[in-house]
Amino acid sequence: MTAWRYVDQIVAAGLARGVATAAVVLAGRGGHLEYQTAVGRLSAAPDSPGVSLATVFDLASVTKPLATTLALLVLVQQGRLNLNVTLGDVLPHDWLPPDKRLLPLTSLLTHQSGLPAWRPFYETVLTLPEAARATALERCAAAEPLEHTPGPLTIYSDLNFMLLKAVVETAAGEPLADFCQRRLYEPLGLPTLGFRPRQAGAGSVKDCAATEAGLIPGRSCQGEVHDENAWSAGGVAGHAGLFGTGPEVWRLAVHLYEAYAGKAGAAFFDPTVVRRFFTPPPGSPRALGFDRPAPREASCGRYFSPHSVGHLGFTGVSFWIDLAQDGIVVLLTNRVHLGRNNDKIRPFRPRVHEAICQALGLTRPWRE
């Protein structure tokens, strides 16, 4: 049995065990794609269409690095924003409370701001006039009391990226979704990546892997963001709302890797800026907007080096870039379609990554 055939078997077995109904996996080294597969069906319905590489997934919290963070990176690259500033240097004081004005942007990007992990803001946002909802999440996050003093304690928080969306929009002078589309995805030739696929036409919705109605009764499971807070804000938020296909997430990851590595032809991203975002500040286990592998029981398995960046998404998606070993893996599933408490992906995800690393020749165990 070839190494890639073994990966095929693991992915197929995972879907058979109920990890998800849909999975797309892409992997390679040095920016060269060596493996791709699309398995399963868009939903659990007996007549559901099959999955393809064109299947669109709700990328959930992968929005944080691949939309909000990259928008900030582009603004820094363009000289329109400086990372060495505070929220109060950028955002209007008429709605930003004093305790948030001194928060450095880097404290939000590394989840060291002191803000709580999550709040059900959608309950409030949905009571507002529709015209006020698009900017309501950042105001709710700004009004939320800090849970601890900003500093070395890391608490992963959606609220950080709700506020960073406002930073992007203030510095860019346009909505996050529009800026990402015009200044990021379109120039890179990534037409599917973006927010609110329902506005892109009925065809794109039919290509979406199903999620679940969740805490919003009657909500469509295809083409609408699964995250309730993002949904209440019209489908665009700094922490969730991005949709895309596996090949486009792969290509974006390759662009970032090639810029970091200083490869010839990687002209879109400034290598110096990318390296800064990929480097954890002193006292932080996280890079700026990107996660690093956990020292124990990492979701990317044992073989990705500590010099890796990536991110997970609640819907069952992830990407990882090993900056030291050149490995890149994109894994997209719709695990929440079978219930948001479906945790079968937890053992599945590292097993897939370890099998891929073995196929790629990355076999040094960095963690046990």
pLDDT-based confidence at residue 153 (cuts at 50, 70, 90): very high
Based on the fold, state whether residues 298 and 197 are members of the same structural domain: yes
Evaluate if residue 100 carries a pLDDT over 90.
Answer: yes
Instruction: Please count the structural domains in the chain.
Output: 2
Share of the chain above pLDDT 90, in %: 95
Based on the fold, state whether residues 174 and 205 are members of the same structural domain: no
Domain assignment present for residue 264? The answer is: yes
Based on the fold, state whether residues 129 and 262 are members of the same structural domain: no
Domain assignment present for residue 132? The answer is: yes
What does the alpha-carbon distance between residue 248 and residue 263 come to, in Å, rounded to a whole number?
20
Based on the fold, state whether residues 34 and 142 are members of the same structural domain: no
- Which of 33-47, 189-203, 205-219 has the highest mean predicted lDDT (pLDDT)? 33-47
H helical segments located in 185-290 = 202-206, 228-232, 246-260, 271-278
pLDDT at residue 367, rounded to an integer: 81
Task: Determine contact, residues 11/366, Cβ cutoff 8 Å.
Answer: no
Domain assignment present for residue 14? The answer is: yes
Q: What is the mean pLDDT of residues 308-326?
A: 98
Burial class (CB in 10 A: 0-12, 13-18, 19+), 46: exposed
pLDDT in tens, 277-293: 999 999 999 999 999 99
Based on the fold, state whether residues 204 and 328 are members of the same structural domain: yes
Based on the fold, state whether residues 235 and 98 are members of the same structural domain: no
Q: Which amino acid is at 194?
A: G
Mean pLDDT of the chain: 96
pLDDT in tens, 333-367: 999 999 999 999 999 999 999 999 999 999 999 98
pLDDT at residue 198, rounded to an integer: 81
pLDDT at residue 272, rounded to an integer: 97
What does the alpha-carbon distance between residue 143 and residue 95 come to, in Å, rounded to a whole number?
8
What does the alpha-carbon distance between residue 165 and residue 60 come to, in Å, rounded to a whole number?
15
Domain assignment present for residue 70? The answer is: no
Based on the fold, state whether residues 54 and 199 are members of the same structural domain: yes
Q: Which residue has the tokens 């975002």?
A: 277
Based on the fold, state whether residues 121 and 266 are members of the same structural domain: no
Based on the fold, state whether residues 55 and 89 are members of the same structural domain: no
What does the alpha-carbon distance between residue 334 and residue 101 come to, in Å, rounded to a whole number?
38
Domain assignment present for residue 185? The answer is: no
Based on the fold, state whether residues 61 and 29 are members of the same structural domain: yes
Evaluate if residue 368 carries a pLDDT over 90.
Answer: no
pLDDT at residue 203, rounded to an integer: 60
Residue where one domain finishes, among candidates 121, 156, 178? 178
Based on the fold, state whether residues 292 and 354 are members of the same structural domain: yes
pLDDT at residue 206, rounded to an integer: 80
Which helix (H) or strand (E) segment holds residue 23: the answer is strand 22-29
Evaluate if residue 202 carries a pLDDT over 60.
Answer: no
pLDDT in tens, 74-99: 999 999 999 999 999 999 999 999 99
Burial class (CB in 10 A: 0-12, 13-18, 19+), 37: middle
Task: Determine contact, residues 51/334, Cβ cutoff 8 Å.
Answer: no
Q: What is the mean pLDDT of residues 250-260?
A: 97
Which domain does 47 fall in, by range? 3-65+190-360
Domain assignment present for residue 72? The answer is: no
Residue where one domain finishes, among candidates 178, 198, 228? 178
Based on the fold, state whether residues 90 and 207 are members of the same structural domain: no
Residue where one domain finishes, among candidates 140, 156, 178? 178
Domain assignment present for residue 90? The answer is: yes
Give the CATH number, domain containing residue 12. Answer: 3.40.710.10
pLDDT in tens, 25-79: 999 999 999 999 999 999 999 999 999 999 999 999 999 999 999 999 999 999 9
Domain assignment present for residue 74? The answer is: no
Q: What is the mean pLDDT of residues 120-126?
A: 98
